Structure 1
């Protein structure tokens, strides 16, 4: 059985896994979770009642949590692009930045999104205020790490960049990366120009009106 991914093309974490699959040209079936495909939704919920996507299915083996899924793909379905270095110490650096982008960038975007989804103006304002504060801290830190690097950890595109691409894509929509962070702005631009990332972004393009903070007319 071919690989299957349950998710949604506008979901940042779904895009993270799609980027890894696109990087290596790995064949898979995308099973969209939405109102037009109730069969996919019911199967996804049967397999993962915690209601988080994406979910990766390889035969009867299922995996959740995006970082684990991408590491699994490298082990079970390796391709020409190695997304986690063979050297253990280098791999540790990649894993750290993967967690950094998920926890300190994307999760802060989600804080603002969740506030907006409540429909409560006070909660929207509180969620955005927290997101702005934390994203500014994250932007400043990663700006200092990117000097002299093409990708998150150096010259090789890795798991960390799979995490960074959707995180920074939506973070800039939520709280614009200012000119005070030229390294970070240039890195985000390189990510969006990468074919695997561009393909993932284009897949979510029809759903931009659903972004609760208002999608800007760019990217």
Structure 2
């Protein structure tokens, strides 16, 4: 049985779980021991980035959520998650890219502010206001991508949808949900009626209760949050340069480890 190292709140892990469940593939879900500390040697052995998700399937060791989705599609092709035509496949992958970089960074930043208490007062309010405007812009962009379609993928639920859902659902938890009655809001309701999506979303909600003491754990140096590429960009452009500098000073943020 494949082993998926994951965290329920990771949107990258969520899209992989939705794909596996849509295809009816049984898998073992395993949280890495000491995520953010480098403590789990099995997790790191085939996964030099030290990020979730990470898939072990027999001798195969696959990291990076997009590569994992591609592997799943090749390994278990039915039912297909990608559309049939090259142009529609490119469209689905473009949507995934925007979600994984632009949208993910905003939700991650909101997590830094609300779960990890990186900022407070006026700075927090300013950054959250900017996040809200950014999310509204992404929702408008997604509305245009959806148009009159039932699914982002086309006539059937698929790759583009499972890549969008974790991010839209994630920002909804922070109070930035799609406009009621909008095409995006209706799409989210349809998606939530799918077992693969509902199970994954329920797991994420259950994991939130474990976030109550994470700010203290960060302060105590028990683990570090990863500030990489688009996340670091979001934090700086949204007014959080001092947050980054403070994290460096306190040594409670990390970057992608060196390969070697």
Relative to the length of structure 2, the TM-score reads 0.71
| Aligned counterpart, 2:87 | 89
CA distance in 1, matches of 2:118, 2:88: 44
Give the greater-gyration-radius structure (CA): 2
Alignment of 1:54-93 (within 5 A): 54-79=53-78, 81-93=79-91
Task: Give unpaired runs (5+ residues) of structure 1.
Answer: 213-219
| Aligned counterpart, 1:15 | 14
Q: From 108, 111, 115, give the equivalent of 1:110.
A: 108
| Aligned counterpart, 2:28 | 29
CA distance in 1, matches of 2:97, 2:140: 17
Deviations 1:54-99 (A, max 9, x none): 10112222112212211111112222x2111232111101111111
Alignment of 1:114-153 (within 5 A): 114-116=112-114, 117-121=116-120, 124-153=124-153
Structure 2 contact 149–155 (Cα < 8 Å) conserved: yes
| Aligned counterpart, 2:255 | none
Count residues in correspondence.
Answer: 208
Give the C-alpha shift of residue 8 in structure 1: 1.6
Structure 1 contact 151–157 (Cα < 8 Å) conserved: yes
Structure 1 contact 71–84 (Cα < 8 Å) conserved: no
Deviations 1:2-21 (A, max 9, x none): 32111122322211100000
Structure 2 residue matching 1:170: 3-state secondary structure: helix
Deviations 1:36-70 (A, max 9, x none): xx9x9332133324221010112222112212211
Deviations 1:101-122 (A, max 9, x none): 2223222111221233243316
Task: Give unpaired runs (5+ residues) of structure 2.
Answer: 213-260
| Aligned counterpart, 2:156 | 156
The answer as to 2:196 corresponding to 1:191 is: no
Change (3 A) 1:43 1:49: same
Structure 1 residue matching 2:40: 3-state secondary structure: helix
| Aligned counterpart, 2:46 | 47
CA distance in 1, matches of 2:181, 2:145: 11
| Aligned counterpart, 2:226 | none
CA distance in 1, matches of 2:117, 2:50: 19
Give the C-alpha shift of residue 209 in structure 1: 2.3
Change (3 A) 1:211 1:159: farther
CA distance in 2, matches of 1:77, 1:33: 25
Change (3 A) 1:106 1:68: same
Give the C-alpha shift of residue 34 in structure 1: 4.8
CA distance in 1, matches of 2:189, 2:31: 28
CA distance in 2, matches of 1:145, 1:90: 12
Change (3 A) 1:198 1:46: same
